[in-house]
Structure 1
Amino acid sequence: MSRAEAAAPSVERANWTEVTPETLYAKLTTVARNLWWSWHPEVVSLFRDLDPVRWRQLDHNPIALLSEMTPQQVADRANEMVLYTRINQAHRRLKDYLSNTTHTWGARHAGVLGAKPVAYFSAEFGIHECVPIYSGGLGVLSGDHIKSASALGVPLVAIGLFYDQGYFRQHLDGDGYQQEEYVDTRVENLPMEPAVGKDGEPITVTIDTRDGKLLAKVWLMRVGRINLYLLDCDVEGNSPQDRQLTSRLYGGDRRTRIRQEMVLGVGGVKALKALAIDAGVYHLNEGHSAFAPLEVIREVMEHDGLSFDDALREVAQKTTFTTHTPVPAGHDRFEADLIEEHLGPLRDSLGISHDQLMGLGRVEPQNEQETFCMTVIGLKLSRKANAVSSLHGQVSRRMWAHLWPWRVEEEVPIGHITNGVHVASWLAQPMRQLYDKILPADWGYRQGEDEAWQNIYNVDPGELWETHNALKSRLLEFVRRRMSRQCRRRNEDESRIEAARNVLDPSALTIGFARRFATYKRADLFLRQLDAIAELINDVNRPVQFIFSGKAHPADEGGKSFIKRIANLRNDPKFAGRIVFLEDYDINVARHLVQGVDVWLNNPRRPLEASGTSGMKAVLNGGLNCSILDGWWAEAYNGQNGFAIGNGTQHVDDNITDARDAEDLFNVLRDEVIPLYYDRDTDGLPHKWIEFMIDSIVTLAARFSAHRMVIDYVRHSYVPAAGGLSSDMAAR
């Protein structure tokens, strides 16, 4: 050890003597209790260094980790690992971040929202794996939305539900069949606290129904500058059944679902009132929260003496609605008796008849055979509505054109704001360090601007390739660890466990597929060309390998059968070690996959993919997309920033479409993807492939960032809804 190296710890110890263990512990706790830390890798690594083993075992939960340590143990570890300066810096950075509200993009461009913020409603929020109140893409999108709103300084509060059992944990049995397990979450290990009113007392809201009152307490979770309020029905005064109402995400029958949506929508608006938050805009992220405007209308009628029709017009002007699915089954519908049971008291307050209320949720208001649709009422009670990609906008206008029979389809008032992803949450630290070297110093603040990414053209191809391969090696290490753990849990023999420790080849083309295993996403499409795919996988000179992950809804037997077929390929010698299925897909698994694969595969049945965001995350890390021209990829693909499966058409017969797409998938892998990947120079560099990587980053990173998405919402939805002027009318 050099004299300089020996001196460094002594400086740290000198600083350490000025701070008590309790003060140091308090600083770490403050940082842990704001989820800001989750998208700052240097802060994540700080918590990891306290105890790397327990950090992994505790799902990267800093509050759980600190709860197992005393202040003195933290102090000892900080002294040992020279962490004092890093702890102090993290605490100071968070404090500075929270206090800087006047020099943000939002302060300059969304001033009209300052006094009356956006109220953003969503049934789920995927912020980090240690906060399990999400199931998949919708929740992760909501989480990315509020993270970018925080970074941009957009005045916004978020409203959701607290699920103390979250979504299920997934395990596969010995036959490859999905098993679901629900685990109670320890509230004390989550970064949340009771929300309090002006009187300092915890808030509980009451929702009236025909069969009694529903109570919900309100929690506060801090996500950077954004306050996320979560309603929880586990309250004294509720029946035992209702105390379990918000326990599970997307669980239970229709009655459970409508009661959850009453709590989210009606209860959420009541929570805002109890918090003295006067929202200027209500953003309904999907139909789950579409009861919210009805409660706002009731408040306006009570406060201003307006009629129902006049109050509806006023509330609709400041409501924006986002629809996320072109799949009919994805739109919640309820029978008339359930609507009356739950909305009857609110209907009485609104002074409207049962038929009038039902008409708000019907495409044909007078059709008594039609059920009440949450998407329909969301569209009727908002004046700004958008789909989540350009193609999805076309599909949505066609799907809901009957709501505006006097308009031609092109004039149906549903625009589109294409989804995006929060760059800081999904970008791997080694790639971030590479970007920091070549991009403008302020690129992180300008990540939604195309110009901020242009210097990627100046990257050294070898350095980009080496960085990507380092991330790929990290992914394979993660996969092997997970696979061997899966084998041990199933009590498989040692040979199986040893094989799991050695799955996949670092030098082989690695293709990732991970998402919700809904049948229309066709995870099994490659099985239609299985023998041909086997030849590609076992090519000695140009091998290919696949990593799959994802959950099927507990009631989706079709999706479960897809998982079983793919997972059981490990028993076939032709695929053993080359096709793996990772259990329990979550944000952590997703992060490793999008950061490490060579190719991100997406092959839904067009046009049923509204947007898709996982491929956007792969872009940030140098992965190339190979996808059906659906959702976001239909507007992203330019011929040299990835690969297209098919030509963007579909047959009226799904079987023909599936057969055709399976053949196209095989052809594009054989004729385009594999040759490009293995075309190397004498140094082993695939120059043409790297050119595709660079073009993908330059053309897509800004366009599909959550910063750009939130800016679009502010300009085209939030500011106009709050009474300001839109820069243009791109989103109607």
Structure 2
Amino acid sequence: MKPIKTFNVSPSIPEKLLPLKELAYNFRWTWNHATIELFRRLDSELWEKCFHNPVLMLGRIDQHLLQSMLDDEGFMSHLSGVYAHFQRYVSQDACWFPRVSGQDGKACIAYFSAEFGITECLSIFAGGLGVLAGDHLKSASDLGVPLVGVGLLYQEGYFHQYLNEAGWQQESYEENDFYNLPLLPEKKTDGTPYKVAIPFPGRTVSAQIWRASVGRIPLYLLDTNIPENNADDKKITYQLYGGDSEMRIKQEVVLGIGGFQTLDMLGIQPTVFHMNEGHSAFLSIELIRSLMKKYGLTFKEAQGIASAGLLLTSHTPVPAGHDYFPNDLMTKYFSQYAKDLGLDWREFMALGRKNPQDSTEPFCMTTLALRLSSYSNGVSKLHGKVTREMWKSIWPEVPEDEIPIRHVTNGVHIRSWISAEMNLLYDRYLGPRWQEEPGKKEIWEKAGGISGEELWRTHERRRERLVAFVRMRLRKRLEKLGASKRELEVAEEVLNPEILTIGFARRFATYKRATLILKDPERLTRLLNNSQKPVQIIFAGKAHPKDDEGKKLIQSIINLVRRDDFRRKIVFVEEYDMAVARYLVQGVDLWLNTPRRLMEASGTSGMKAAANGVLNMSILDGWWDEAYSPGVGWAIGRGEDYVDSTYQDQIEAEAIYDLLEEDIVPLFYERGVDNLPRKWVAQMKESIANLCYFFNTNRMVQEYSERFYIPVSRRYQQFLSNGLTEAKKLSAWKENIQKNWPKIMIESVTTGPLNDLTVDVQLAVQSVINLGNVTPDDVTVEIYSGKVDALGLIISPETTKMDAARSLGDGKYLFEGRCASCQKSGNYGLTVRVLPYHPLLSTPFLPGLISWSQPI
């Protein structure tokens, strides 16, 4: 029976305890151990039952217990201290960003993401992309970055995992109760909720706006499951990554277009639009449409302004991981939209195609974002290179290393991932500045002074807690399956809290090769069951519901565990989430990562482990490719590329066994008379000192701010100032350049004598170039030179600018310059190129606008 009216009931909290409610409704508690301990102190058992959700806990707590806390001086003192610290934090103005930006509060960054992983009780994320987004918001809060988050509020969120008796992954879904989460509906002054109306074909879809407070950062989340919508439209935000392509396009319309309209409705005027992956790329065309309508601009004029404020971060190193929509779906949802933009259908679809002329190519969200953004980046140094190679066809004839896709290496929000014990240890030995300035290398260098005995005992306690947690989880699983008393007793005996523990936890995609360490079971059993130096492995992770190959990997682990020689040494932990992740990264000794090289964009789980003193053993991919050095962990292989994946698996599995047998296990068990593994502990401190200062999101967000947010915000505001004069001039200039570029021809290139050249000589170069209707001020002419490889290609090139010496008439000009000096002997080559130039361009590499001479 459906109710005729609905209403929300709030818990009754004594006035003196009302600060608890304010603390509960701000996710800052997720990275403040004192606040977590405060809620746990109320009722530790209820805290666990409520899935670490303080709002739900306050609603369920016994009112008599709550009342009794008023007479508990210790608790009231604890509350007073935590609340005072919270108030100072949220009201503090003297943060990093205001000091460095000098923009007098004008900057505003809108950060769009399809998922946000802030903590386990808010299940609106699937994995690493969402957790990175959550950590991004937390560090933005710490740094005082004027940022707002925009996402979707999923009714079900991601699935819950359980395994059947055969070890096959099953999925179940639970609905999020928004009124019992740290969320509040955004309301107008009259108390009615804000709802945004999003244009859909033949109808309008409404979305209610909810707000999550992440420290100083507001996160706005859209919910379509409201009475105003029909049954199908209510389901748009029902399930994260659920449904077919049509559901996906509807979700991305709500995220991008609805998200943009939400900010406009709330009176928020961003100066930077940061797209965390291409899911939200429709915001770029909505921004253009909004500018056209507001200022009476053409599409090209509005595009020039919009692009100045758009930034894309791509996380996906494989083409299949990007969203593509077929022509019929795009026609259904955007045919009228294209007309509103003043574009014909071919022009509109070209925005999302690598090859604008290919009418059969589907519409790609990442291509749309790349074409309309002035700035883009990958998420590690190696991934930046992979991303440039993947999308190079958008910039034909531009050398791969000059394609304007940069990189900002990911990090983790350290305070969200370290244990309370590790937090205290850092406070004691590094001083309080490590919390405020975790990107300072000199602070982390003090890790060498941490007491080895204290560090080891702290880590041993976390391993003990991990083992106890895994046993509890395993027992619960067996109870659900109706296990025998003997099987339950065995569950209490799995793992040993005193031996070398390896952790592997991530999404069970085949390219991550979770079972690589299991490839040779007989060699593995000798390692695990060594009577003097035993080893154990803990696995955790979910396979995508539609990924049967990933599910087979999980099943193979379960089957292996049933062998007597592995039963107590290998465990798979069900329902991998942020709570499980914290236990693992805080408690294992060695973190294992085995992706196929070039298929892991960054990876952050190893960073979380490193912050807890855990050592890494990984393929040289993603973050580890730039993080690894001898002494901070171990590298599997040397970054080799393989054609035969079967052969690759064999070689790299053997490398894992070799490292364990020859280096890692002996080092762990090399003990002094006090049973302290001094060399292992020294390597823990080396890892902390050399990795934590860089691989954290405070450093990452500072880098985004300095390289993108601050200059992008200034450029966007510049374009919107003075009646849009500069923006219109740039648009007119671009139109003229694009119209006349095909007429530009490099007619000749001549040099001085090429015989008997010696090191450090700068070769004189002249070039006659027909610019047609373009002037020398509109272009940059460069000598592109370097050593020539066996294929006749210029490698490690250098560029030097050529100057227009004189006009030769009829649009022809003589350009002169000198080739960069050759530092070493060998075979060199050069060519000349022409690029567009305008002082307001963010990059000279515009798609299709580059002209080359032939190599000499």
Alignment TM-score > 0.5, same fold: yes
Aligned to 2:666: 675
**Match of residue 153, structure 2, among 162, 165, 181:** 162
> How far did 1:78 drift?
5.2
Letter in 2 for 1:22: P
Aligned to 2:761: none
Counterpart amino acid of residue 64 in structure 1: L
- Structure-2 residue corresponding to 1:39: 31
Aligned counterparts of 1:506 and 1:275: Cα–Cα separation in 2: 53
Task: Check conservation: 1:360, 1:376, Cα contact below 8 A.
Answer: yes
**Counterpart for residue 466 of structure 2:** 475
Kept after mapping to 2: 8 A contact 1:211/1:341: no
Residue 211 of structure 1, CA deviation? 4.1
Are 1:133 and 2:124 matched, yes or no?
yes
Deviations 1:39-67, CA, capped at 9 Å, x for gaps: 11111011111111111111011111110
- Please, what TM-score do these two structures have when normalized by structure 1? 0.95
Q: How does 1:464-543 map to 2 (within 5 A)?
A: 464-543=455-534
Instruction: Report the Cα distance in structure 1 between the residues aligned to 2:415 and 2:325, rounded to whole angstroms.
Output: 39
* 1:142-188 CA distance string (max 9 Å, x none): 00000000010000000000011110010001110001000011111
1:568 aligns with 2:559: yes
Query: Structure 1 CA distance, aligned partners of 2:350 and 2:644?
Result: 34
Q: Which one-letter code corresponds to 1:268 in the other structure?
A: G
The Cα shift of 1:80 comes to 4.8
In the other structure, the counterpart of 2:278 is 287
TM-score (norm 2): 0.81
In the alignment, does 2:443 pair up with 1:448? no
Q: Relative to 1, partners in 2 of residues 1:660 and 1:78: Cα closer, same or farther, differing over 3 Å?
A: farther
Structure 1 residue 589: Cα displacement: 0.2
Find the partner of 1:433 among 407, 424, 427.
424
Name which of 91, 106, 131 aligns with 2:83: 91
Are 1:210 and 1:344, in contact at CA under 8 Å, matched by a contact in 2? Answer: no
Q: Distance in 1 between matches of 2:649 and 2:334?
A: 43
Contact 1:317 1:383 in 2 (8 A): yes
Counterpart in the other structure of 2:316:
325
Task: Call closer, same or farther: CA 1:165–1:607 in 2, change over 3 Å.
Answer: same
What CA distance in whole angstroms lies between the structure 1 residues aligned with 2:540 and 2:580?
8
Partner of 1:195: 186
Q: Structure 2: how far apart are the matches of 1:173 and 1:112?
A: 57
Among 640, 649, 663, the residue aligned to 2:640: 649
Is the 2:463–2:497 contact (alpha carbons within 8 Å) kept by the matching residues of 1?
yes
Q: Distance in 2 between matches of 1:508 and 1:229?
A: 46
Q: Give the distance between the partners of 1:595 and 1:121, measured in 2 at CA.
A: 30
Cα distance in 2 between the residues matched to 1:79 and 1:510: 45
**Equivalents in 1 of 2:422, 2:586: separation in Å?**
9
| Structure 2 letter corresponding to 1:203 | Y
SS of residue in 1 equivalent to 2:436: coil
Superposed CA RMSD? 1.7
Structure 2 vs 1, CA of residues 78 and 624 (structure 1 numbering), >3 Å: closer, same or farther? farther
- Could you report, residue by residue, the CA deviation over 1:665-706 in whole angstroms, capped at 9, with x for unpaired residues? 221111121111111122212121112111100000010011
Which of 437-446 and 621-630 deviates more? 437-446
Using the alignment, how far apart are the partners of 2:102 and 2:234 within structure 1? 40
1:706 aligns to 2:693 (yes or no): no
- Structure 1 residues 23-48: Cα deviation after superposition (integer angstroms, max 9, x where no partner): 13321111101111111111101111
**Is the Cα contact below 8 Å between 1:290 and 1:375 reproduced in 2?**
yes
Match of 2:259 in 1: 268
Equivalent residue number for residue 50 of structure 2: 58
- Structure 2: distance between partners of 1:52 and 1:477: 17
Q: Which residue of 2 aligns with 1:204?
A: 195
2:178 aligned with 1:178: no
Q: Which moves more between the two structures, 277-286 or 647-656? A: 647-656
More divergent stretch after superposition (219-228 vs 569-578)? 569-578
Q: Deviations over 1:558-610 (max 9, x none)?
A: 11001111123221101001100000000000011000100000000001000
- Residues 590-669 of structure 1 aligned to structure 2 (within 5 Å): 590-669=581-660
Return the offset for 1:359. 0.6
Give per-residue Cα distances to partners, 1:522-576, cap 9 Å, x unaligned: 1011222222111101111111100000001100001100111112322110100
1:252-273 deviation digits (Å, cap 9, x = unpaired): 1110111001100000000000
Higher helix share: 1
Question: In structure 2, how many angstroms separate the alpha carbons of the residues matched to 1:609 and 1:125?
Answer: 20
Out of 383, 393, 396, the residue aligned to residue 392 of structure 1 is 383
In structure 1, distance between residues paired with 2:406 and 2:475? 47
SS of structure 2 residue aligned to 1:82:
helix
Is the contact between residue 510 and residue 550 of structure 2 (CA under 8 Å) also seen in structure 1?
Answer: yes
The structure that is strand-richer by fraction is 2
Percent of aligned positions that are identical: 44
Q: 556-565 or 647-656, which moves further after superposition?
A: 647-656
Letter in 1 for 2:169: Q
Letter in 2 for 1:54: L
Match of 2:575, SS state, is coil
Match of residue 15 from structure 1: none
| Range 270-279 or range 427-436, more displaced | 427-436
1:353 aligns with 2:365: no
The answer on whether the counterparts of 2:116 and 2:130 sit within 8 Å (CA) in structure 1 is: yes
1:227 aligns with 2:218: yes
CA distance in 2, matches of 1:312, 1:104: 34
Q: Which runs of 5+ in 2 are unaligned?
A: 1-11, 717-841, 846-856
Alpha-carbon distance between aligned partners in 1 of 2:441 and 2:70, rounded to the nearest angstrom = 41
The one-letter code of the counterpart of 1:547 is I
C-alpha separation in 2, matches of 1:75 and 1:471: 34
Structure possessing the higher radius of gyration over alpha carbons:
2
1:499 is displaced (CA, Å) by 1.0
Relative contact order: is structure 1 or structure 2 higher (C-alpha 8 Å, sep ≥ 6)? 1
**How far does residue 72 in structure 1 lie from its aligned partner after superposition?**
4.5
The amino acid across from 2:57 in the alignment is: L
Q: Which residue of 2 aligns with 1:259?
A: 250
Paired position in structure 2 for 1:5: none
Describe how 1:405-444 pairs up with structure 2 within 5 A: 405-444=396-435
Separation in structure 1 between the aligned mates of residue 249 and residue 475 of structure 2, nearest angstrom? 41
Per the alignment, residue 28 of structure 1 pairs with: 20
Q: Which runs of 4+ in 1 moved over 4 A?
A: 197-200
In structure 1, C-alpha distance between the alignment counterparts of 2:119 and 2:648, rounded to whole Å: 37
Q: CA deviation at 1:210?
A: 2.3
Q: How far apart in 2 are the matches of 1:196 and 1:351?
A: 35
Structure 1 residues 641 and 304: CA distance shift in structure 2, 3 A = same
SS of the counterpart of 2:598? Answer: coil
Cα deviation, residue 228, structure 1: 0.2
| Distance verdict in 2 for CA 1:113–1:594, change over 3 Å | farther
Where does residue 144 of structure 2 map in the other structure?
153
Give the Cα separation in 2 of the matches to 1:485 and 1:126: 26
Any idea what SS the aligned residue of 1:594 has?
Answer: helix
Out of 301, 307, 329, the position equivalent to 1:316 is 307
Deviation for aligned residue 1:116: 3.5
- CA positional deviation for 1:441: 3.1
Q: Distance in 1 between matches of 2:272 and 2:186?
A: 21
**Cα distance in 2 for residues equivalent to 1:184 and 1:697:** 40
Alignment of 1:579 with 2:532, yes or no, is no
Range moving further from structure 2, 261-270 or 63-72? 63-72
Q: Distance in 2 between matches of 1:78 and 1:588?
A: 31
Q: CA deviation at 1:90?
A: 2.0
CA contact (8 A) 1:159 1:230 kept: yes
Give the Å deviation of 1:345: 2.9
Provide the secondary structure at the position in 1 that maps to 2:205: strand
TM-fit CA distance, 1:724: 6.2
